[in-house]
Amino acid sequence: MKRIIIAIACLAVGFSAYAADSNTPTAHPKNISVGTKKSEGKDFFRIQRTYLIEDACGQIIYVYVSAPHGTSNTVMYDCAYDYVMGCLNSNGCYQ
């Protein structure tokens, strides 16, 4: 019990000594600038692809995916695939 009291006392002295010499940082002014970036015009183009995905029952599902210019084919296919997988019932057939 005596060791616990000594340990708590040393801990309290250590915390108070640590907090006594702490310096709080001064607030620096924040420089925020807002601007607009000119578009070259190619950002306005969108690409559209059609994916044919066959379910377990033999139905072919046409999925049209539209995305901004520069989107990879893999990302667009994953989007179409996720859509079809979300619409399958327990038999694996498209609803």
CA angle 3, 8, 9 (to 5 degrees): 95
pLDDT at 32: 73
pTM listed for this prediction? 0.51
C-alpha span between 81 and 51 (Å, rounded):
9
Locate the domains of the chain by residue range.
44-95
Provide the residue-wise pLDDT of the chain in tens; the chain has 95 residues.
888 888 888 777 666 655 555 666 677 777 777 777 666 665 578 899 999 999 888 889 999 999 998 899 999 999 999 999 888 888 888 87
C-alpha span between 66 and 47 (Å, rounded):
6
User: What tokens were used for 25?
Assistant: 């940082």
